[in-house]
């Protein structure tokens, strides 16, 4: 309750400053949008001032690939289109948190398309997800003819989102919350707790959220050649994701060489050994790690502007990942928060509230500039 009171006092002060100093309407609108994001599915001022977005199922085909998803139409005319990509979540496009986020963005006059991606529901985010994301962009561009296009991605989904933006130069902006850049560095963190702000920099250490490594196991279990190990690793991941303290020795004892190579990586606590342990993984897992790694890629061709949001308290993907991506992308705006956890867009203190207010305001300015681009 104390945080909520501070947040409301902050918003009141923000509105007063905006009015007194002649700030843009986007700055004031940003306070309403942020308040609605904080409220989730609950009541907010923005909900009282805007009509409820219409949610409808849509389908489309690109180059023979059949796609489907949910389209959120604002009550007022949409200004730009936005493909919203969830992180690894069993409920996929129907996750209540994602639905609330899509509705908030639609109330801010984004035409929001959430593709229904089987890999997301299976908690197997892959570089191949760039295709359905790019297909969704094409759908908004050709069928809805919006004047601007963006992608919003959560967690591991930022990689296929950025790859899709490289494939589709019409993407104007990408919003990434708690994303990654260097997959070897991320694996090092969630297995050993070590991270650093670039190669050659001193190691730092934190206690990682163990949930992250079991998401990794779940995502890669199907990439083993040994069918027995595939089933065992999937069962191990499911058990651990349901209860991190659950014993799994009955399952690990049955693993063959491929499954054991994965568990050896997870059991390691020495950051210097991580590259060798990754090299010992089965070929298809190594291939996916290579494909999901942005670090070796030339991002100079990325035309989209990046809005990067990350929490310093993130215990799944360290904030240094978004910082590294910001250094390498041609156009990037990095916002670091003290209390974001992994991807929970709720202000934790007045300073974080101000930072989120600013980035939402900048995003709305981008929206308005794109909306004015065509008659």
What does the pLDDT look like over 214-261, one tens digit per residue? 988 988 999 999 999 999 999 999 999 999 999 999 999 999 999 999
| pLDDT value, residue 45 | 95
Q: For residue 146, what pLDDT band results from cuts at 50, 70 and 90?
A: very high
Mean of per-residue pLDDT scores for the chain: 90
Res 8 pLDDT > 80: no
93, burial (CB in 10 Å: exposed 0-12, middle 13-18, buried 19+): buried
Superfamily grouping for domain 2-182+301-371: Alpha/Beta hydrolase fold, catalytic domain (3.40.50.1820)
pLDDT in tens, 292-301: 999 999 999 9
Res 7 pLDDT > 60: no
The ranges assigned to domains in the chain are: 2-182+301-371, 184-291
pLDDT in tens, 273-306: 999 999 999 999 999 999 999 999 999 999 999 9
What angle separates helix 211-220 from helix 183-192, to the nearest 10 degrees? 130
| pTM, to two decimals | 0.90
| pLDDT value, residue 347 | 55
- Cα–Cα distance measured from residue 289 to residue 183, given in angstroms and rounded to the nearest whole number: 7
* Residue 62 and residue 130 in contact, taking contact as beta carbons nearer than 8 Å: no
Mean pLDDT, range 6-23, rounded to an integer? 45
Mean pLDDT, range 195-216, rounded to an integer? 91
Mean pLDDT, range 28-43, rounded to an integer? 91
Q: For residue 90, what pLDDT band results from cuts at 50, 70 and 90?
A: confident
């Amino acid at each position: 309750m104390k945080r909520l009171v501070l947040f409301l006092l902050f918003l009141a002060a923000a509105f007063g400053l905006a009015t007194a100093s002649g700030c843009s309407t986007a700055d004031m609108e940003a306070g309403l949008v942020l308040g609605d994001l904080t409220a989730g599915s609950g009541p907010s001022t923005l909900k009282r001032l805007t009509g409820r977005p219409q949610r409808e199922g849509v389908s489309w085909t690109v180059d023979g690939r059949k796609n489907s998803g949910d389209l959120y139409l604002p009550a007022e005319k949409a200004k730009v289109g936005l493909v919203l990509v969830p992180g690894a979540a069993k409920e996929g496009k129907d996750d209540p948190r994602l639905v609330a986020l899509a509705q908030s963005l639609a109330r801010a006059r984004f035409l929001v398309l959430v593709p229904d991606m089987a890999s997301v529901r299976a908690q197997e985010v892959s570089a191949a997800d760039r295709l359905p994301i790019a297909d969704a962009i094409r759908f908004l561009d050709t069928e809805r003819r919006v004047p601007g296009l963006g992608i919003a991605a959560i967690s591991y989904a930022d990689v296929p989102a950025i790859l899709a933006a490289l494939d589709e130069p019409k993407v104007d902006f990408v919003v990434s919350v708690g994303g990654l850049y260097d997959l070897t560095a991320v694996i090092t963190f969630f297995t050993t707790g070590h991270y650093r702000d670039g190669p050659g920099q001193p190691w730092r250490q934190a206690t990682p959220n163990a949930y992250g490594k079991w998401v990794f196991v779940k995502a890669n279990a199907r990439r083993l050649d040994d069918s027995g190990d595939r089933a065992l690793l999937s069962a191990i991941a499911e058990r651990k994701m349901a209860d991190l303290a659950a014993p799994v020795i009955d399952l690990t004892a049955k693993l063959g060489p491929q499954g054991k190579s994965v568990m050896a990586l997870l059991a390691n606590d020495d950051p210097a050994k991580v590259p060798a342990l990754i090299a010992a993984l089965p070929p298809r897992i190594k291939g996916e790690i290579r494909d999901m790694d942005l670090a070796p890629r030339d991002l100079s061709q990325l035309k989209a502007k990046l809005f990067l949001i990350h929490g310093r308290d993130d215990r799944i993907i360290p904030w240094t990942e978004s910082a590294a991506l910001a250094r390498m992308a041609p156009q990037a705006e990095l916002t670091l928060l003290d209390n974001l956890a992994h991807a929970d867009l709720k202000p934790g203190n007045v300073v974080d509230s101000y930072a989120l207010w600013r980035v939402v305001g900048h995003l709305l300015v981008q929206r308005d500039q794109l909306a004015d681009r065509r008659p």
